[in-house]
Amino acid sequence: MSVTLALGCAAPSTDVNPSNAARRSGFEDMGASTQAMQRDDSGNPAMLWVREGEQLWARSSPDARACSSCHGELKSMRGVAGRYPAYDAHSHRPVNLATRVNLCRERHQQQRPWAAESNELLSLEAAIAMQSRGLPITPSRDRRLVPYRERGAALFSQRIGQLNLSCAQCHDERAGLRLAGSVIPQGHATGYPIYRLEWQALGSLSRRLRGCMTGVRAEPLAHGSVEMVELELHLMSRAAGMAYEAPAVRP
């Protein structure tokens, strides 16, 4: 990937900072056929995971109550994905939606947590996220999240990796320019979990972020780590008010 070269040619930006210009979902930067795939549920491969998640939601076993036995219909999760990560008082830290689901699995179902990016976890995440589709992203206002969110914002602007680039240098300063053939999006986390054509699978926001970290040759943060959740908190507040579009499709 000729990252340095492409960036070296990039013109200094004027009005592409999402904080002071119109914010734009990555959906807008995609080709027409990829957009059509996301728009039509019958053509969106992510719906396979949603259907699986709907079944898991209602499934009980001799030693575990179903999610639905405590929470009722999936509809009860309306708006939930759009306000995560949230603070978990038991573990005294913020958690993302995947970790929240696993906490229920451990605390309320007495089962071992599912592995990060496992089909079960992604399926439930997708089915829950779908209940926030079309709703505005509304970050939690819990005061306990403030220091975490601030650290996430700092990390977003910090140069990382052998390429010595920050998230902001691409997603605020160079959004809309091309990098190795693809348009650099503003980097809004409006559609997670997403079906990514490159993965040929569903994946979480942290998987996407790990991809960007590897792209600048930085050691990627671990799934569910506090630092990863801090970054996710910042991304969601940066996208506050934008419509949730999960499960999205991305190139």
Binding residues for ligand HEC (CB under 6 A):
3, 26, 65, 67, 69-71, 80, 86, 100-101, 104-105, 107-109, 124, 128, 156, 165, 167, 169-171, 179, 182, 184-185, 187-189, 191, 194, 208-209, 212-213, 215-216, 231, 235, 250-251
Minimal distance in Å, beta carbon 44 to ligand HEC? 15
Minimal distance in Å, beta carbon 45 to ligand HEC? 16
Q: How many whole angstroms separate alpha carbon 132 and alpha carbon 96?
A: 15
Partners of 243 in the beta sheet?
A: 136
Minimal distance in Å, beta carbon 126 to ligand HEC? 11
Q: How many whole angstroms separate alpha carbon 67 and alpha carbon 55?
A: 10
Report the residue number, 147 or 178, with the smaller CB distance to ligand HEC: 178
The dihedral through the CA atoms of 94, 212, 155, 134 has a sign that is negative
Report the residue number, 15 or 91, with the smaller CB distance to ligand HEC: 91
Q: How many whole angstroms separate alpha carbon 96 and alpha carbon 134?
A: 20
Minimal distance in Å, beta carbon 22 to ligand HEC? 15
* Token couple for 204: 């979480």
Best CA proximity match to 187, nearest among 227, 157, 226: 157
Report the residue number, 231 or 233, with the smaller CB distance to ligand HEC: 231
Minimal distance in Å, beta carbon 211 to ligand HEC? 7
Contacts of 15 (CB under 8 A, 6+ apart): 21
Cα angle 166, 187, 93 (rounded to 5 degrees) comes to 75
C-alpha separations of 75 from 46, 105, 128 in Å? 19, 19, 8
Minimal distance in Å, beta carbon 116 to ligand HEC? 15
Residue nearest to ligand HEC (CB): 26
Preceding peptide of 193 cis, ω within 30°:
yes
